[in-house]
């Protein structure tokens, strides 16, 4: 018996990107980025605990352009994952599950992630320049 | 089987809730200690409250991390043997990084 010609389920290339799906994949992406970032947290803690050399190296790295770009990415990732995580917790609670609310909370998450990232970097540069 | 899935689901949400205040504390702490010397960081992390919060942060972060990465692996690695290996490595890495972090925090907290 030959299998029936069943229609294939629509695939990623067919879907038009929508806020809901983009934010969903971004939640995963930022989670993975933050996971990678924990290695730097361990590096920094280890340096502070055990080694002048290791700490100085970490300190110099964070001040470099590459370090700052990574910090910017991780700061945004943290705020996004945190805020979108709260959105998930509200869904678990049964709140905001309709499409209209999903879009409204989605854009709120995007706006506040950007705002908090900017505020953190603003505060950081201010603290740095007043040392 | 369902027991393990429910435990995973619940642990992911509990660690998420705990991480909301802890990660905000962490971001603020990093910004306010920017550019400080190793001695200053040691002074700060030898106090009881920062030691406690940093310990809680590390435990919650790595627990939340392995739960989350596990789900991503389960979704994208279809070969059962490779999937099991990837999950084992994730747990191993999570445990190792937790152990190193806790040892470092203990060293700082005791002012050694």
> Chain A contacts of B17, Cβ < 8 Å?
89
Direct distance between the N- and C-terminal alpha carbons of chain B, in angstroms, rounded to an integer: 45
| Residue A45 C-alpha, separation from nearest chain B C-alpha, in angstroms | 6
- pLDDT profile of chain B (112 residues), mean per 10: 85 96 96 92 95 98 97 94 97 98 96 78
Residues of chain A with Cβ-Cβ distance to B100 below 8 Å are 42, 45-46
Tokens of B61: 């972060």
Our CA-based measurement puts residue A111 at a distance from the nearest CA of chain B, in whole angstroms, of: 17
Element at A111 (helix H, strand E): helix A99-129
CA atoms within 13 A on the CB side of A88: 17
- For residue A15, what pLDDT is reported? 74
pLDDT of residue B112: 75
Q: Burial-class residue A62 by CB neighbours within 10 Å (0-12, 13-18, 19+).
A: middle
pLDDT at residue number A2: 72
| pLDDT reported for residue A91 | 95
Residue ranges and CATH numbers for the domains of chain B are 2-109 (1.20.1300.10)
Give the confidence band of A16 by pLDDT, cuts at 50, 70, 90: confident
Q: Which residues of A touch B102 (CB under 8 A)?
A: none
Query: Average pLDDT, stretch A74-92?
Result: 97
Alpha carbon distance A35, A12 (integer Å)? 25
Length of chain B: 112
The reported pTM is: 0.91
**Class of CATH domain A19-129:** mainly alpha
Q: Given this model, what pLDDT does residue A10 score?
A: 67
**What's the rounded Cα separation, in Å, for the pair A90 and A84?**
10
- Which ipTM did the prediction report? 0.93
pLDDT class of A12 with cuts at 50, 70, 90: low
Q: What is the pLDDT of residue A130?
A: 78
Q: What is the pLDDT of residue B64?
A: 98
Question: Mind telling me how many Å the CA of A48 is from chain B's nearest CA?
Answer: 6
What is the percent of chain A with per-residue pLDDT over 70, rounded to a whole number?
Answer: 95
């Amino acid at each position: 018996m030959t299998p029936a010609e069943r229609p294939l389920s629509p695939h990623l290339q067919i879907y038009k990107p929508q806020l809901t799906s983009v934010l969903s994949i971004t939640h995963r992406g930022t989670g993975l980025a933050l996971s990678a970032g924990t290695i730097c947290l361990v590096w920094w803690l280890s340096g502070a605990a055990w080694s002048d050399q290791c700490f100085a190296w970490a300190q110099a790295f964070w001040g470099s352009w590459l370090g700052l770009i990574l910090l910017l990415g991780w700061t945004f990732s943290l705020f996004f994952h945190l805020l979108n995580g709260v959105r998930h917790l509200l869904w678990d609670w049964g709140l905001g599950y309709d499409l209209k609310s999903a879009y409204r909370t989605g854009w709120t998450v995007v706006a506040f992630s950007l705002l908090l990232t900017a505020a953190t970097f603003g505060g950081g540069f201010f603290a740095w320049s007043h040392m | 089987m369902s027991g393990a899935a429910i435990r995973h689901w619940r642990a992911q949400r509990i660690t998420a809730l705990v991480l909301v205040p802890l990660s905000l504390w962490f971001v603020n702490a990093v910004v306010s200690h920017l550019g400080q010397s190793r001695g200053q960081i040691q002074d700060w992390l030898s106090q009881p409250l920062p030691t406690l919060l940093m310990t809680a942060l590390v435990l919650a972060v790595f627990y939340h991390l392995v739960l989350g990465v596990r789900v991503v692996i389960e979704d994208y690695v279809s070969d059962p043997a490779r999937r099991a290996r990837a999950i084992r490595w994730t747990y191993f890495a999570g445990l190792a990084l937790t152990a190193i972090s806790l040892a470092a925090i203990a060293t700082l907290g005791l002012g050694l």
